[in-house]
A and B are shown apart, each in its own frame.
Chain A
């Protein structure tokens, strides 16, 4: 007997939205000088959540000045042990307010509450805990006997994991003694602004963390501001290129976490049901809005006929809908623009002759939604095999030999992640050794941990975040 799920919505009452949010500069909230605001929507129902200020050049300048002053007068002079204690405080407050933050993140981003609650928020707190402990141990990090902070870090983060990307950027920067000016994405600014309140609640010295909301021009003004010593960016490869171009010839240090087109290789001896679960989490976790998503499935030809029906059965059981429902697997696409891009790329696959399949799936009438989609009969030349779709769309290819699997997996300018499914350890290690990617998940996928370095080869960017390696980007 099959039981239907009853609605299980998480309460919104833990979140108090303000009408408008201002910029967080030098420890306080202040309107943008230009007086401009943008509206952030709930992508699940297109309702307006709040207005947030749009920072202009003058605001960027003010924030960088505040960060510089905080760096010179307080933060770089403080002992590592004291700096670490601030980070521990922040980690604790995040845990205390995690339910509020999880609900707000789901509302602003469209991702399912079970992911914000069980993945994003625990990881956010864990990152602050992890890097807090490094603050007074930097001499032991293997980066030289006297590692020094760089100064003011300009940080620009994407909309797919708004608060987690903030944690990845802010925690190591502060632990190493840098101060930060951070710009969250224009469609998902709200949890960063609550984080600003958390900084106040933790009595973090003014100017150590500054948060500027706005869109592309704000980000550009920030990374190009001559007063910053370090630029850290996570987002599209296209924007990454232009940032790399803009910092050329300066003294600014740069780390980039960019796009990916991760291959998920399933060998004929893989545990098929486990592999199916891994394929699903590889591409449908966070609606596929994951730079390290396993968006290219490479199945050994001999088992494709067995695996694909099982995969389709499993995908048909995914529940798409209200992100705040605790039983939801797939939430909303983050924005109308992203939905359009997913549609355009997926349609291009259909035009190029790939087979397209989605389970019977009722999409809500308002909001931005895209049904989980499998594309089969994909060749390496198809756009859907080469370009990052950044949505719940899986391209399926096949291979015959391990050599062919590796060649196909590496046949991309990207090199962020890859998956390997096999019960044979030696084959797993052989494959992992040959894959040109920064993170290899073997018999698992999309796992993250603050102690584990993350970052890409080739056009997936440079530098690593997380772990001891993540400190290097912030020390000179």
Chain B
């Protein structure tokens, strides 16, 4: 995909001003797609962007091409947000995730049209994907205040001790979102990370990043604190080595890292960063993510178990 610093001006040369063009009734306001960093929508600090095309190859928009510095900023934003997000009550996190579902539901039409245009899905398939994405947020909204009960509990040690284990978020998670499932796949990997109290730096699908930026607008208007999710549109190959080696990243989800996954895993070993390897659904399309009950397997890798002991006595 071509990297470019300017828009593709001059597409229709030769049309003189003198030629009487029909006066348009209304000029559409096109959208500028930006990054989502720390709750704001900046352009890449590098000033770079890249063209995004539809499944048929038509130009759709220019997306920001995130740089390593953007990735660094994203990690800083995610770390800053972690303290507040991880210590919110699980009930409150659930409310906010459910709010994401509500806002997304309200924008079903936009996301459906987008999926049709960008991915070439049929209208019916696009609706199915968007519905599943809404439902996925609801699914994880309901997990926030249950995961500790399911995964933690009292340990019957032999001795006069209170002994209790509970899961805790691991910290900042760098997520390589699926390449071919830009909305439902993205939702399926991001929602479990934040449902459990982690914060996320997400490298979105390189060739289909627009759904991610649209989703960022949903997140930004859903009471999700800035920095909890940071979305970088760009290249896993460029941003990945940096995120994998970053000492302030606690876990990597390599689902969308493709051929680079092994290299990133090897890099991550230096800081013993937790790693989720690409699974069977990694390269597949949105359909691979339709299962309405994905279980806990995307939450547990980003949780640590903390065990507290205290003597019992009078």
Contact = CB atoms under 8 A, between A and B. Distances in A.
A245 B295 contact: no
Interface residues of B, number: 35
B151 interface: yes
Contacts of B11: none
Contact of A454 (B159, B261, B274, B307): B307
Interface stretch (A61-69, A347-355, A441-449): A441-449
A243 B56 CA distance: 45
A249 B262 contact: yes
Given A447-B161, A449-B157, A439 B309 contact: yes
B307 A440 contact: yes
Contact of B272 (A241, A444, A464, A467): A241
A27 interface: no
Interface string B273-314: 011000000000000000000010000100011111111000
B253 interface: no
A454 B309 CA distance: 11
B67 interface: no
B165 interface: yes
B310 A442 contact: yes
Interface string A389-420: 00000000000000000000000010000000
A438 interface: yes
Interface stretch (A34-42, A171-179, A183-191, A455-463): A455-463
Contacts of B311: 443-444
A237 interface: yes
Given A241-B272, A245-B269, A449 B159 contact: yes
B170 interface: yes
B159 A453 contact: no
B2 to A, nearest CB: 30
Contact of A464 (B153, B170, B266, B305): B305
B306 A126 contact: no
Contacts of B159: 447, 449
Contacts of B265: 244, 248-249
A339 interface: no
A144 interface: yes
Contact of B269 (A244, A432, A449): A244
A258 B272 contact: yes
A407 B300 CA distance: 26
B272 A447 contact: no
B158 interface: yes
A305 interface: no
Given A451-B157, A454-B307, A469 B272 contact: no
A451 B161 CA distance: 12
A441 B305 contact: no
Contacts of B295: 144
Contact of A442 (B151, B165, B270, B309): B309
Contacts of A451: 155-158, 163
Nearest to A455: B305
A452 B262 contact: no
A469 B266 CA distance: 26
B150 interface: yes
B305 A452 contact: no
Contacts of B250: 458
B271 interface: yes
Contacts of A453: 155, 165, 305, 307
Contacts of B309: 439-442, 444, 447, 452
Interface string B163-178: 1010000100000000
Interface residues of A, number: 41
A438 B306 contact: yes
A452 B157 contact: yes
B163 A461 contact: no
A106 to B, nearest CB: 23
A458 B272 contact: yes
Contacts of B153: 468
Interface in B99-158: 150-151, 153, 155-158
Contacts of B261: 249
A126 B158 contact: yes
Interface in A284-324: none
Contacts of A455: 305
Contacts of B304: 438, 457
Given A249-B265, A447-B161, A464-B305, A142 B271 contact: no
A437 interface: yes
Interface string A234-249: 0001001110110011
A453 B156 CA distance: 11
A241 B310 contact: no
B308 A256 contact: no
Interface string B27-47: 000000000000000000000
Contact of B155 (A441, A449, A459): A449
B301 to A, nearest CB: 9
A49 interface: no
A194 interface: no
Contact of A440 (B155, B262, B308): B308
Interface string B223-266: 00000000000000000000000010010000000000110011
A125 to B, nearest CB: 12
Interface of B: 150-151, 153, 155-159, 161, 163, 165, 170, 247, 250, 261-262, 265-266, 268-272, 274-275, 295, 300, 304-311
30 contacts: A241-B272, A244-B268, A244-B269, A244-B272, A245-B269, A248-B265, A249-B265, A249-B266, A258-B272, A438-B306, A439-B306, A440-B307, A442-B310, A443-B310, A443-B311, A444-B309, A449-B158, A451-B155, A451-B158, A452-B163, A452-B307, A453-B155, A453-B307, A457-B304, A458-B250, A458-B272, A459-B272, A464-B305, A467-B165, A469-B305
Q: 9 closest A-B pairs (Cβ-Cβ)?
A: A249-B262, A244-B269, A449-B157, A248-B265, A248-B266, A245-B269, A442-B310, A452-B155, A451-B155
Given A240-B272, A439-B309, A455-B305, 18 more contacts: A126-B158, A241-B270, A241-B272, A244-B269, A245-B270, A249-B262, A432-B308, A439-B306, A439-B307, A440-B307, A440-B309, A447-B157, A449-B157, A449-B159, A452-B163, A452-B307, A453-B305, A459-B272
